Amino acid sequence: MTTQIAVVMAEDNLLVREGVRGILAASAEISLLAVCANAAELRAAIAEHSPDVVVTDIHMPPDLADDGIRIARELRRDRPGVGVVVLSSRDDPQHALDLLEDGASGRAYLLKERVAQPGQLLNAIREVAGGGSVVDPRIVESLIHASTRSPTSAPSALDSLSARERDVLGAMARGGNNTSIAAELFITVRAVERHINSLFAKLGLTEEPDYHRRVRAVLLYLAEN
Q: Give the pLDDT confidence score for residue 31 in this predicted structure.
A: 97
179 burial via Cβ count (<10 Å: 0-12, 13-18, 19+): exposed
- Angle (nearest 5°) at CA 123 between 12 and 54: 40
Q: Give Dmax over CA atoms of the chain in angstroms.
A: 52
The string of pLDDT tens digits covering residues 104-153 is 789 999 998 888 887 889 999 998 999 888 888 777 766 656 554 444 44
Domains and CATH numbers, the chain: 5-135 (3.40.50.2300), 142-224 (3.40.50.2300)
Q: Give the pLDDT confidence score for residue 55 in this predicted structure.
A: 97
The string of pLDDT tens digits covering residues 157-185 is 688 899 999 899 888 877 678 898 999 99
- What order do you get walking across the sheet with 5-10 strand by strand? 30-36, 5-10, 53-57, 83-88, 107-111, 133-135
In angstroms, the CA 95 to CA 1 distance is 37
pTM, to two decimals:
0.72
